[in-house]
Amino acid sequence: MDAINDKAFAALGAYPIVQSAVAITILLGALYLVIRATRDKPTAPPPLPPHEPVPQWLMMGPLHDMMQSVHEVAEQSRRTNDLLREVKDVMSDAVRETQHARQTLELIRNESRMR
């Protein structure tokens, strides 16, 4: 078997036939790929899923900001209510003081008339 192989390889000399065959195969393969490449259209990026035009995670940031703003508005409203309640109490005290002062003045006036 080795002798046959030796004879076969010896017949090829410096392997010019095999060498040329491989080179021609590579060239033909390259030619085929060039033709395929020039025919094929440019590859487009993959489209988004049809039922989800905007990815869900994209909404998480704005939604979180909005919830934080709602909390801030509620806190401001609570503080405003507290201030209004304090203002109401002060006004009630002022009315009470005014009534007391009026009664005092009326008493003074009556006293002065009796004399």
Partner 1 sequence: MMTCSLAGLVRHFNNRISEAAAAWMMIGIAVLVVTNPAAADAHSFDLIGVAIVDDWLAPAFLTVGVVRLAALVANGSWPLYGPWMRAGGALLGALIWSQMCLSLVLLALPSPGIPIYAVLTGTELFSIYRALAGHNGRNQR
Q: Which amino acid is at 82?
A: D
Nearest approach, Cβ of 77 to partner 1 (angstroms)?
48
Q: What is the separation of C-alpha 48 from the centre of its chain, rounded to a whole number of angstroms?
A: 16
Segment interacting with partner 1, rule: CB under 8 A, options 26-34, 47-55, 70-78, 95-103? 26-34
Closest CB to partner 1 among residues 40, 52: 40
Q: Which residues contact 18 (CB under 8 A, 6 or more apart)?
A: 12
x/- mask, partner 1, residues 52-91, rule CB under 8 A, reads ----------------------------------------
Residues in the chain: 115
Instruction: Name which position in 18, 90, 94, 108 contacts partner 1 (CB under 8 A).
Output: 18
Residue 12 in contact with residue 18, Cβ under 8 Å? yes
Written as six digits, the tokens of 82 are 């507290």
